[in-house]
């Protein structure tokens, strides 16, 4: 018999966050999140997204043992301003037992119905900046710090329970060229001179804070046309600054400004932290954090997290300038492979950026939808 318990205490929330550690303890590919960071993200007192959202968390028990978890989320901006009557679900993990996954999803259904919503979709987080999608390809690859990992049976459960595919994301593994082609350098210089653009260089992570708000503004402009888009709110930006600043190596950040100093494009790449996070196993006390510091300085793999370009400058060759700078950084630091952030399958403009490089589409993930 399956028993569902709503999370109602700090202890429950810790149990909720730690469940995947037990579920995936034997998986060589699961990369755990930092426990404290996950608890803060799910805590209404710590995460400003709750100014525009509400969530409930549930644990599934079988014979007094935790066998699954799920979060039911409503983003009121999405519902009221974008007119999408959707209840989200995320942080969805479970043993290979259809009775467990159904019982958890039934809680989301009930939560959505109680709020007069029309359909449920997930797994997703609170907004575009959170993890999303069930892995459907790439089970023998390490997940990155901004993606979930799951066993192959997850998708089988969704299909068996009558869910239909919603959004699909693809991820690429790109081989870094050992040298930059002369024509790329020349074209980049032409674009830079033609539009009177300036490259912004940073020595310390804190120097990036000056441009953080402009970066998020560009993200909103860049991705507003995509189906999963929900605008990033000003109060959320402060949290993301604090959350990701410790991981940034300023040498890997490319920012481009116009002649007046206004930011018109940026890209954020980080050395891969997957192996470091696996060694840390959810803990972040000082000695464990040394794994992150080592990964920042000695690594042969990088992760391409974000790129934003002002619509005025899209399709004008600005990406060539960004890639030239990134390629130079990779060569200097011994980076041989870059893994991309999940990209919506229909976002052909972004995927076209990798055509000039040796690449492999090595992962795919998907959200699932069902009418209430």
Q: Are residues 24 and 161 in the same domain?
A: yes
Q: Are residues 275 and 163 in the same domain?
A: no
Q: Are residues 16 and 132 in the same domain?
A: yes
Q: Are residues 119 and 244 in the same domain?
A: no
Fill in the DSSP letter of residue 363: E
Q: Are residues 33 and 151 in the same domain?
A: yes
Whether residue 273 is contained in a domain is answered as yes
User: Tokens at residue 100, please?
Assistant: 């467990």
The tally of domains found in the chain comes to 2
**What is the pLDDT, as a whole number, of residue 137?**
97
Domain endpoint, select from 170, 195, 223: 170
**What is the pLDDT, as a whole number, of residue 227?**
59
Q: Are residues 200 and 323 in the same domain?
A: yes
| pTM to 2 decimal places | 0.89
**What is the pLDDT, as a whole number, of residue 188?**
87
Domain that holds residue 292: 177-335
Q: Are residues 6 and 137 in the same domain?
A: yes
Whether residue 366 is contained in a domain is answered as no
**What is the pLDDT, as a whole number, of residue 21?**
97
Q: Are residues 34 and 161 in the same domain?
A: yes
Domain endpoint, select from 155, 170, 185: 170
Whether residue 298 is contained in a domain is answered as yes
Whether residue 344 is contained in a domain is answered as no
Whether residue 369 is contained in a domain is answered as no
Domain endpoint, select from 145, 170, 195: 170
Q: Are residues 118 and 185 in the same domain?
A: no
Q: State the Cα–Cα distance between residues 49 and 239, nearest whole angstrom.
A: 9
Whether residue 368 is contained in a domain is answered as no
Q: Are residues 129 and 196 in the same domain?
A: no
Whether residue 119 is contained in a domain is answered as yes
Per-residue pLDDT of the chain (372 residues; tens, 9 = 90+): 899 999 999 999 999 999 999 999 999 999 999 999 999 999 999 998 999 999 999 999 999 999 999 999 999 999 998 899 999 999 999 999 999 999 999 999 999 999 999 999 999 999 877 899 999 999 999 999 889 999 999 999 999 999 999 999 999 999 998 888 788 888 888 889 998 999 988 888 777 878 888 888 887 777 666 656 676 777 677 777 777 776 778 888 889 999 998 999 988 888 999 999 999 999 877 677 788 888 888 899 999 888 888 888 888 888 888 888 888 999 999 999 999 989 888 877 777 778 878 899 999 999 999 999
Q: Are residues 256 and 164 in the same domain?
A: no
Alpha helices in the chain (DSSP H): 10-23, 35-42, 76, 98-114, 153-160, 182-194, 209-223, 234-244, 274-280, 286-297, 318-333, 348-351
Whether residue 259 is contained in a domain is answered as yes
For the chain, what is the largest distance between any 2 Cα atoms, rounded to a whole number of angstroms? 69
Helix pair 98-114, 153-160: axis angle to 10 deg = 60
What CATH number is attached to the domain comprising 105? 3.40.630.30
Q: Are residues 329 and 201 in the same domain?
A: yes
**What is the pLDDT, as a whole number, of residue 226?**
62
Q: Which H or E run contains 71?
A: strand 65-75
């Amino acid at each position: 018999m399956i028993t569902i318990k709503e999370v109602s205490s700090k202890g429950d929330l810790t149990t909720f966050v730690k469940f995947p550690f037990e579920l995936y303890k034997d998986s060589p590919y699961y990369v755990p999140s930092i426990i404290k960071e996950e608890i803060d993200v799910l805590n209404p007192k710590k995460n400003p997204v709750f100014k525009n959202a509400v969530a409930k968390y549930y644990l599934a028990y079988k014979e007094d043992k935790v066998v699954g978890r799920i979060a039911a989320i409503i983003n009121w901006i999405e519902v009221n301003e974008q007119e999408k009557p959707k209840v989200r679900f995320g942080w969805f993990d479970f043993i290979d037992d259809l009775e467990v996954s159904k019982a958890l999803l039934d809680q989301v259904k009930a939560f959505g119905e109680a709020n007069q919503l029309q359909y449920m979709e997930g797994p997703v987080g609170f907004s575009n900046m959170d993890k999303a999608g069930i892995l459907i390809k790439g089970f023998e690859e390490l997940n990155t710090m901004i993606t979930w990992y799951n066993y192959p049976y997850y998708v089988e459960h969704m299909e068996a329970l009558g869910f239909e595919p919603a959004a699909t994301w693809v991820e690429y593994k790109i081989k870094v060229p050992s040298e930059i082609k002369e024509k790329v350098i020349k074209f980049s210089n032409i674009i830079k001179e033609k539009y009177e653009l300036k490259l912004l260089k940073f020595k310390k992570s804190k120097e990036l804070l000056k441009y953080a708000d402009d970066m998020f503004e560009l993200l909103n402009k860049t991705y507003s046309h995509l189906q999963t888009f929900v605008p990033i709110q000003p109060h959320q930006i402060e949290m993301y600054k604090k959350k990701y600043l410790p991981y940034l190596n300023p040498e890997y950040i490319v920012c481009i400004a116009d002649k007046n100093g206004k930011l018109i494009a940026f890209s954020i790449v980080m050395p891969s932290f997957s192996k470091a996070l696996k060694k840390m196993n959810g803990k972040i006390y000082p000695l464990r954090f040394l794994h992150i510091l080592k990964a920042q300085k000695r690594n042969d793999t990088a992760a391409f997290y974000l790129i934003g370009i002002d619509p005025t400058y899209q399709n004008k060759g600005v990406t060539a300038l960004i890639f030239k700078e990134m390629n130079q950084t990779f060569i200097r630091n011994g980076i041989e492979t870059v893994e991309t952030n999940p990209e919506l399958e229909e976002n052909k403009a972004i995927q076209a950026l990798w055509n000039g490089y040796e690449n492999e589409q090595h992962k795919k993930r998907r959200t699932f939808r069902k009418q209430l």
